[in-house]
Amino acid sequence: MRAPSLLLLALLSAAGCRRERRSFSEPSPLQARVERAEPLPSGEPLSHFLDNAWAVSEGARLFGWYNCAGCHSLGGGGGMGPPLRDGAWRYGGAPADVHRSIVEGRPNGMPAFGPRIPDYQTWQLVAYVLSLSGRLRLDVEPGRPEAIAIGKPPVMVSKKLPSAEPLPEAP
């Protein structure tokens, strides 16, 4: 009876640690920005951001500061830019694709923020963008902002992150 409870405790505390860790000056997991060209790894470094509540809340702050909210609207419902709250992804919904959209921009009007946003902040933005469509763990989802009430996005049925291959070019 003791072993599983200890294991459960260890699991919970690991999840707790990962969710709560405040990491300030850690180097970007994807080396310097200059090596943007190499293929984006999957898995490990992402949980550093996608399972970290602090990274998601920093992403929420930057989503407002860097004017992502201007085109994609505060709640991610879209405006000039496409909505980020529904499950539809024009350029792929995998974290790596969202990261490339931010860094390199997209032809139909998404500006390239690569040289202007430090890399770990880009990953924080990716974490927040995925939380907009309810793709993160429930205990990592950000709370309501201290602003006008927008309401949480409909929790996505499938928590699985979409695959990495991008959709065909939009019409």
Partner 1 sequence: MTSTVATESTPDSRSEDARLERELTDTWRLCRGFAGWFCETNHTVIARRMLVTAFVFFALGGVEALLMRLELARPDNHFIGPDRYDQLFTVHGSTMMFLFAVPVMQAMGIYLVPLMVGARTVAFPRLNAYAYYTYLIGGVFLYVSLFTDTGPDTGWFSYVPLSGPQFSPGKRVDVWSQVVTFTELSALSTAANLIVTTLKLRAPGMALNRMPLFVWAELVTSFMVIFAMPAVMLATMCLALDRLVGTHFFNSAVGGDPLLWQHLFWFFGHPEVYIIFLPALGMVSSIVVTFSRRPVVGYLPMVLSLVATAFLGFGLWVHHMFATGLAELGQGFFTAASIMIAIPSGVQIFCWIATLWSGRLVLATPLWFVFGFVAIFVVGGLSGVMVASVPIDLQVHDTFFVVAHLHYVLIGGAVFPLLGGIHYWFPKLTGRMLDERLGKAGFVLTFTGFNLTFFPMHLLGLHGMPRRIYTYRAATGFGPLNLLATVGAFVLLAGLLVVLTNVVRALLSGRDAGPDPWQSDTLEWSVASPPAPYVYEHLPCVAGRYPLWEGIRDCVVEGMDPRQRQVLVTAALDAAPDHVYVLPGPSIWPLLSAVATGVTFITMIFTPWAVPLGLALGTVCLVGWFWPRPPHEPLLAEQP
Partner 2 sequence: MSERRRVTVRELPSYAFGPRDPMWWGVALLMCIEGTTIALLLLMYFYTRQRVDVWPTTAPARDSLYAGAATTAVLLASIVPTHLMNGAAYRGDLARIRRFMVLMTALSLAALGTRIWEFRALPFRWDTDAYGSVVWGLLTLQTTHLGLGVIENLMFVVLLYRGPVEKKHLVDVEVNGMYWYFVVGGWLPIAATIYGEALFR
Partner 3 sequence: MTGALDPASTQALAISILWWVFFWTGLFVFAAVLVALVVACVRGRRRARREGSAAEAVPERSLEQRRERAVLAATVLSVVILIGLLVASIVGGRYIYGNPSPPLPVKVIAHQWWWEIQYPGPRSSDLVVTANELHLPAGRTAELELQAADVIHSLWIPNLQGKRDLIPGHTTRLSILPERVGRYDGHCAEFCGLEHARMELPVFVESPERFSAWLTAQRRPAPAPSTPEAERGARIFTKGPCAMCHTVTGTDAAASVGPDLTHVASRAWLAAGALPNSPRNLRAWLSDPQRLKPGSQMPPTGLSESELDDVVHYLGSLR
| C-alpha–C-alpha distance, residues 50 and 135, integer Å | 9
Nearest residue (CB) to partner 1, 138 versus 157: 138
Q: What's the min distance (Å) between Cβ of 147 and partner 2?
A: 12
Q: Phi and psi (nearest 5°) for 21?
A: -65, 130
Angle separating helix axes 95-104 and 119-132, nearest 10 degrees: 120
Nearer to partner 2, 76 or 93 (CB): 76
The 3 state secondary structure assigned to 117-140 is CCHHHHHHHHHHHHHHCCCCCHHH
Contact residues for partner 2, defined by CB under 8 A: 144, 149, 151-152
Nearest distance from C-beta of residue 42 to partner 3, angstroms? 24
Closest distance between partner 2 and the C-beta of residue 85, in Å? 16
Per partner kind, with CB cut-offs from 5 to 8 A, the member of partner 2, partner 1, partner 3, none near residue 104 is: none
How big is the chain, counted in residues?
A: 171
Of partner 3, partner 1, partner 2, none, which one sits near residue 19, judging by CB under 5 to 8 A according to partner kind?
Answer: partner 1
